[in-house]
Amino acid sequence: MVPRISAFLRFAALFGSLLPGLPRTAVAATTRHEGTPLQLGDARAAVLFFIASDCPISNRTLPEMLRVEHAFASRGVRFFFVYPNSTETAATIRDHRAAFGIGPNVLTDPGQTLARLAAANTTPEAAVLIPQGKGLKPVYVGRIDDRYLNIGTERPSPTRHDLESAIAAVLAGRPVPPPGGPAVGCAFMTLPAK
């Protein structure tokens, strides 16, 4: 149990200091992510999908991500697909988008700035952001659904659509239910030591 508690405390501290830090309209020169500006515009919420072109669980979950995007894109939610690994290139992203039908809202985040701000660490993983003051505040970070229980255990189909519930709660102005389990997939590539 000890590691669990320490992780809890560590991230509590992280959120305490970083929550308001995400700029509301976007891609500031100081961050290293590139691509579509992370702007809410008129939207009520933004959803970031952290994905990797070479991660099988991320790829198997992409149809579900696209389904959620389709269900909520016309209801005031903007969706962004974020590639957090520095191994991705323009070519891998182009091919990946074409093969899986990913739209134009794509960001690369090789310095994992966005990922750190949203406290995501896995592909696939989602973050739901809502406006707060001049910035964006994550109100949900975690798994898309419960299909994968851990890296070796997979349900035939999901029984709980955690992300979808979170988005619906945001739109309804209800408290956002937390994910019911860990995000399962591929760890982000470890950044080189500074």
Stretch that binds another protein, among 28-36, 70-78, 108-116, 136-144 (CB under 8 A): 136-144
Minimum separation from the CB atom of position 192 to another protein (A)? 9
Phi, psi of 73, deg, nearest 5: -60, -30
User: Is 135 an interacting residue with respect to another protein (CB under 8 A)?
Assistant: no
Query: CB–CB of 82/111 below 8 Å?
Result: no
Closer to another protein by CB, 27 or 181: give it: 181
Minimum separation from the CB atom of position 29 to another protein (A)? 28
SS (H, E, C) the chain: CHHHHHHHHHHHHHHHHHHHHEECCCCCCCCCCEECCCCCCCCCEEEEEECCCCCHHHHHHHHHHHHHHHHHHHHCEEEEEEECCCCCCHHHHHHHHHHHCCCCCEEECCCCHHHHHHCCCEECEEEEEEEECCEEEEEEEECCCCCEEECCEECCCCCCCHHHHHHHHHHHCCCCCCCCCCCCCEECCCCCCC
Minimum separation from the CB atom of position 42 to another protein (A)? 25
User: Is 4 an interacting residue with respect to another protein (CB under 8 A)?
Assistant: yes
Closer to another protein by CB, 30 or 190: give it: 190
* Total of residues contacting another protein (CB under 8 A): 55
User: Is 60 an interacting residue with respect to another protein (CB under 8 A)?
Assistant: yes
Closer to another protein by CB, 73 or 189: give it: 189
Query: Of these, 157, 172, 173, 194, which contacts another protein (CB under 8 A)?
Result: 157
User: Is 12 an interacting residue with respect to another protein (CB under 8 A)?
Assistant: yes
User: Is 168 an interacting residue with respect to another protein (CB under 8 A)?
Assistant: no
Query: Of these, 38, 45, 61, 93, which contacts another protein (CB under 8 A)?
Result: 61
In whole angstroms, what is the distance from residue 46 CA to residue 95 CA? 25
Residues contributing to the site for another protein (CB under 8 A) = 3-4, 7-8, 11-12, 15, 54-56, 58-64, 85, 87, 99-101, 119, 121-122, 138-142, 149-157, 159, 175-183, 186-190, 193
